[in-house]
Amino acid sequence: MGAVRSPAIVVAGHVVGNPAHAIVQYLDQHGGTVTHYDFRAATFGQINPDLIRATRSPWMGSRISAKEAAWIIDCGSSAPWAAIPLEAQLKEADPLAEGGLYDRAAALWEHFWDGRPANVSTAKISKVLYLMRPGLFPILDSYLTRFYRTAARAAAIDVGQKRPSQGQFKTLYWEAVRRDILGGEAGLRVLREVLAVAESPLAAEAAGRLSDLRLLDMLAFAA
């Protein structure tokens, strides 16, 4: 396959010099995940056993047990999905906008977070919610939380100073990722253009189907 190149993008303070090459490499190594997990996103009307299966090995390795799955499915049946459009994007979720998309996303998250059983935590919930709203919810597994921790702490301090009601949070991962999406919009746009004409059919399909949020997540692994 011929070389691909796009302008650098900053992810959590780290520079990815050639994002197009990084994404193509990711797709080469994790094509099954993209096909069987990512491309299933936004195709579910409700959380169901099929969605839960998509989060498990060999694609995402969520390790959601049968008992946990039953709880997540039941919790999802009463979740406030209607408050958040299917096409909602994290870049539009400003934590300073009271009553806006960020607050509605937080309410949806808390619907699953409050009263969750033991061993159901951030990674499992985020892998499920990503499939329901793929442009909005980052996949906050252990790697991404470590990678973004410093940026998330800085975002929490900044937001807490401007909106005191958010001052209780020591880390704001969504906002840290959102700031990278906004700062990298031009680079992400060129990245899509390059991937769309790449020799790899999967790269071309990913360019049209993956959210900016997920592309940035892939770049975090490259960084």
Residues 6+ apart with CB under 8 A from 50: 44
Please give the structure tokens belonging to residue 153. 């702490």
DSSP string, 160-181: HHH-GGGTT-S--HHHHHHHHH
pLDDT tens by residue, 119-138 = 999 999 999 999 999 999 99
This prediction's pTM: 0.96
pLDDT tens by residue, 186-213 = 999 999 999 999 999 999 999 999 999 9
The list of the chain residues with pLDDT below 70 reads: 1-2
- Using CA atoms, how far apart are residues 47 and 132, in angstroms rounded to an integer? 8
Instruction: Give the residue among 135, 161, 158 at the shortest CA–CA distance from 217.
Output: 135
- Using CA atoms, how far apart are residues 3 and 17, in angstroms rounded to an integer? 14
- So what's the pLDDT on residue 2? 61
